[in-house]
Structures are given as structure tokens and as C-alpha cells.
Amino acid sequence: MKNLIIPIEIKHRELQGAIVLAYIALKRGWTVYLGQKSQIFPFIQFFSKSIWFLKSIVPGELSNLLKIKSSDHKITTLDVEGLILSNGKFGAIKRYSLATIKEADIIFFWGDKSHYEPVAKVFPSIKHKSIISGSPIIDGWHYEKLNFLNQTKSTDNFKKTILISVNFARADPKFKYARKVYEKFYSGFDNYKKNELDSYNNLIEAEYKLKEVSFLHFKDIIPKISKKFSECRIIVRPHPEENLDFWKKYLSTYKNVIIENQKSTSSQLLISDIFIHFNSTMSIQSCYFDKITLMFNPIKETSLNDAISPITQDVSIICKDVKELFKNIANPDHKIMKMKKKKIKNYIRYLDNNNNLLSSELIINQIDKINIKTNNSKNRLNSIYSIIYFINFNLKFFILFCLGSLSIIIPFFRKRFERFRWRYVLGKKKWDKTSKKYIFDYFFSLIKDKEFQNKLVIKKHFGGFFILKLDK
């Protein structure tokens, strides 16, 4: 029996895809371990030999990759953030390095032009271990669409539903500096040459400035949309790491506006007629669902526009001012969107007439070919050593948090410890308390398989992650 370990970073972004991948693996008789990264990584050495499906192999994760390989596990990965890379060479070296590529056994990609080609151009060595598979996240879209089509449609008094993505976590002044510190660390900035550092620092600064400016534009335009289209329901979806309370307070007087980011992106898009965004990966998903996809970008500065992904622009109707935006909301051009829909096959592989497998099926088929000897490999997840190690691991991070907090008054500590000051705060935004019942219910709200439902056994480990098996 093979083991599949799926560490997740952000629950609302990744859990749905992980559920589909786990479903396919469980149907093959595998055991699946699923949970937040910080719940799983302390136990690397205590899992029996397993195949890991990682959400990324960024340069800053090299130490974890080496620990995984030193325990005789195998590493596979599909970069959950790799659908839309930063522009140019930096987009690739921000997410990969020669050292992390070396440790991976298989590297999966969302699609060709969006992800594989830019990375392979910078790292040719990746080609012999790469597979363009699509993503389990796209499979989640597929299942949600099937469920939506089978539902009884509710009726209300709204003429249209407009979904607006506000993904401006980088613009939050409270956490902006901390995010930059984290981003530079995990992008492996210590590995770059001086001239490269200057170039990449400029790009990161441009990306942050872009979010700050666009945040102001959306802060201004949302109330105007609400007033102009008062007969429409407006759903504002903040990014999971964004300040939700700000938007609730700021838009509280607009009766046709709902602030909601707990529901899945698919469920919100499926009930919507129009999707408005700025440089959001949800534009691909919106186009996949055949929704009118509008990118509102009144920014005039060339240096900032150069940091916008060409992919999000390619699948969206660009609105450069309020007049254009209102025109496209009132009278959307469905012909243009049909042309845009044809383009997404350049960026994602998904189940259709030409591809008869879900991405998760293709991935499990490939992972199943990996030779991993599980004989005499014992699971020690509940041993006294794992308990002691878990306590020490959390004690270590508490001490690092304290040192990070001291870095406010002791400059000498900043370079090494400052990022740990924010680990707890940012971590809570990524993964809230999750019960066994929540995982069980999530499975069967998404995948309608009664036989599977009757056999599924879920246990919660004291570390917080879940162990999934099918009862024989």
C-alpha cells in the first residue's frame, strides 16, 4: 500500500484540489495524509516511506526537501501559485532553483505557456522530470460545475450578479513589510548576484506598488458600481490573507453588496454573470466557466503595467476607465469572451473532449509509477519520539517568535529572526481550525459517491493533520 502526503498552505485556495486528488488515490487503495504544512512537516522522519505532493519547491523550502529525501521519501510537486508567474526570468527563479529541482522526482505543471515553457527556458534540466498535467484545483472546478448544473436554481430580485475579486493583501500597510521579508526569503534572495538582486528587488517593488495603486482604484470603483447598478447583486471577495474587516466596514452602507470569501471561488463564479478583477488568477477560472471576465485597470504608468501578467490580460476584456467598465457591465460582449475561452487551453490542461482524464487521475497514474519500497518501513507517527519531537518543534518556533519580536528593538536580530514575528499572525489567515467532520462533509458536498462515502475513514492526528483510508 502506498502513502500520499499532501501538505497545504492556504486552506481556501488548495483544499478543494487536495480533496479530489485524495479521492482518486484512496480509490486506488492508498492511504492519504492531508493537512496544513506546519502540521505535517514536524513529522517528516516519522512517516513510513511515502510520496509527497508538495504545493511548491521554492528555493526557501530546500531544507524541508532535503529532510524529506533523507527519510527516503519521494517528492512530487505542482506549484499551486505557478498558474500566473511573475514576468520574465524572475517568475521562474522565484519558484524554482537548480537545487530544489534536483530533489524532485516529478514536477507537474498547470499548462504549457503559462508555466512549463517559462520555467523550462530558465531551467532546461527540468524537462526530463516534467509532466503537463493540469491541476487538481481545476478538477475541483469541474466537480463544482457538475453539482451546480444539477441544483435547483434559486430565484431572487436581482437582475445580475457581479463578482468582484479584491486581491490586495500586498497593499495592507500592517503586513506589507513582513510579506516582503517572507517573499524574499522563500524566493531564495540570498542565492542571487548583486546585479540580479537589484533587478528583482525593483520588480518586487513594482508588484507591491501595483497592488497599492490598484487597491485605491477598486476602493473607489466598488461603491460606484453598487450605485450605478443598484438592481444587481454585488459580491466582493477579498483574498484569504486580506483585511476582511476593512471591506465589511467600508462597504457596510451599500445594501446590494455582500462581502464573502469563505465560500469556494467556483461556487461564487457559477452564480455570477460578470467577474471583475485586477491581475487575478481567478480570471482563468472565470473564463473556464464562460463568465464575462473584466479586468479593470486605469493605471497609466508603464513601469507598473509592465509587472502585470500577460495571461490575465489575454483571458479578460480590459477596461481602462470607468466608462468602459460600465459599458461592459451593461452590455457585455459574449463574442469576445468566446474568443478568450479558446485561449485558456494555452495556459491550463483540463478534462474536455481532447483530454479524457481528470488532472488528478493523470497525476496519480504518474505517481503510481514511482518505485518506492515500503517493506520494513514503519509508521511512527504516534511514538513517544514523535510526541517529544513535536513538542520541541513547537517550542523552537515559540523561541523564534520571541526572538523575532525582540528584533523590533535589537537590529542585530532582524535579518535572521524577523520573519518569525509574523509567522503566527499570517498562519492563522491561511488555515483556521478544521474538524474531521468538516473534511468529511467537504468530500461529499463536492463528490457524489455514496459507496465511497460509506467506506471513508478519517482520523485526526494530534499534530492537527488528517489520515484518510477506505475501509475494506
Confidence grade of residue 67 (pLDDT, cut at 50, 70, 90): very high
d(CA 459, CA 351): 32
pLDDT at 427: 64
Task: Answer for the pair 223, 304: CB distance below 8 angstroms, yes or no.
Answer: no
248-291 residue pLDDT tens: 999 999 999 999 998 899 999 999 999 999 999 999 999 999 99
150-179 residue pLDDT tens: 876 666 778 899 999 998 877 777 666 667
Residue 469 has pLDDT above 90, yes or no: yes
Helix (H, G, I), strand (E, B) or coil at 469: strand
Cell digits for 246?
A: 476593512
d(CA 470, CA 472): 6
d(CA 273, CA 252): 23
pLDDT at 208: 85
362-404 residue pLDDT tens: 999 999 999 987 766 688 999 999 999 889 888 887 888 788 7
d(CA 398, CA 472): 42
Region 112-116: mean pLDDT is: 86
One-letter-per-residue 3-state SS of 304-358: HHCCCCHHHHHCCEEECCHHHHHHHHHCCCHHHHHHHHHHHHHCCCCCCCCCCCC
Task: Answer for the pair 54, 76: CB distance below 8 angstroms, yes or no.
Answer: yes
CA 10 and chain centroid, separation = 6
| pTM listed for this prediction | 0.89
Instruction: Give the architecture (CATH level 2) of 142-346.
Output: 3-Layer(aba) Sandwich (3.40)
3-135+354-381+433-470 CATH pick, 3.30.1140, 3.40.50, 2.30.30, 1.10.10: 3.40.50
Nearest to 134 by CA among 459, 430, 443, 352: 352
